[in-house]
Amino acid sequence: MASVSRQFARSAIRASTRRAFIAAPRQTAQQGRRFYSSEAPKKGSSSLLYLTGAAAVLGGGYFFYNQGAAEPKERTQADYQAVYNEIANRLEEKDDYDDGSYGPVLLRLAWHASGTYDKETGTGGSNGATMRFNPESGHGANAGLKTARDFLEPVKAKFPWISYSDLWILGGVCAVQEMQGPIIPFRPGRTDGQAAACTPDGRLPDASQGPKHLRDIFYRMGFNDQEIVALAGAHALGRCHTSRSGFDGPWTFSPTVMTNDFYTLLLDEKWQQRKWNGPMQYENKSSKSLMMLPTDLSLIQDKSFRKHVEAYAKDNELFFKDFSSVCLKLFELGVPFTSSSSERMVLKPTSA
């Protein structure tokens, strides 16, 4: 699919987000499979094997004595831009997911990988990419994220030097920027961990709860009320699935374009409890095609939260600025970087 036509279409959507929304058919995400094979060693003379092995050891020692052990290449911004571009190209070509884009689920992967951080214990966060392992991959809040992880596997295969931890965050950065959102600086340096470092269940938000729960979850990470509301703006993107969270539907009329519509719709639409065979959620009275979660409605029911909702609803530029800052903070929580913050890099959107 041509990128020019895709971007033109998204620009048109962004300019008219109040039009009636027709949900794209949901398609089953393809699950990638990896196969491994090995050839059995061939039988031969043991003395020949010993001689061959000795020669290899001596030869290898001579090589490393003369050449020095191979040092890992120091990666440059150009290297990470190449990875970014590969993700962006896949987002452009692979339109067989919700509303034609894998972008929202990539952002959700980056957020859920990072949102497990606990400032008191210093555990969790994006470093380690422990969602690759059970039990973390099976936590209820992470349902459906195998789709995002599988989407990035071909990128990992093409650029094996990048850690999963960095790749998942870079995927989130790319998703936001390619969906016409703000620039989010990226700092590499995360390393992959083992299953023993998996975080306990319950560190991510429960959408059925209210303001106290939100503060408990986000204060644990070191966020304040304004930052909580800014992060919630990510609900401008994507949709909920009954097969994952149990909830159903999109938050906005343009779920693949980053805007401040989440806030304007919260304030401008009339929300009523949806009557259906599912968990309690809200629907807009005007079209009944949009949804809000109990945690979403709590943002306008709580006075401290509401003032920030009103500010972002009035000023998309302010929202973009604060969303970029809070995503940067979220993505770096608990990461033992060896580089300074001055080494963060701005990766260019493919549409720039």
Residues forming the active site: 112, 251
- List Cβ<8 Å contacts ≥24 apart for 290-294: 290/21, 290/249, 290/250, 290/251, 290/252, 290/253, 290/265, 291/240, 291/247, 291/248, 291/249, 291/250, 291/251, 292/251, 292/265, 292/266, 293/207, 293/208, 293/240, 293/247, 294/207, 294/208, 294/209, 294/210
Q: In the β-sheet with 291-292, what is the strand arrangement from edge to edge?
A: 271-273, 282-284, 291-292
* Residues 238/250, Cβ–Cβ less than 8 Å: yes
How many residues are there in the chain? 352
Alpha-carbon distance values, 85 to 79, 111, 230, 280, 347 (Å):
10, 21, 27, 40, 9
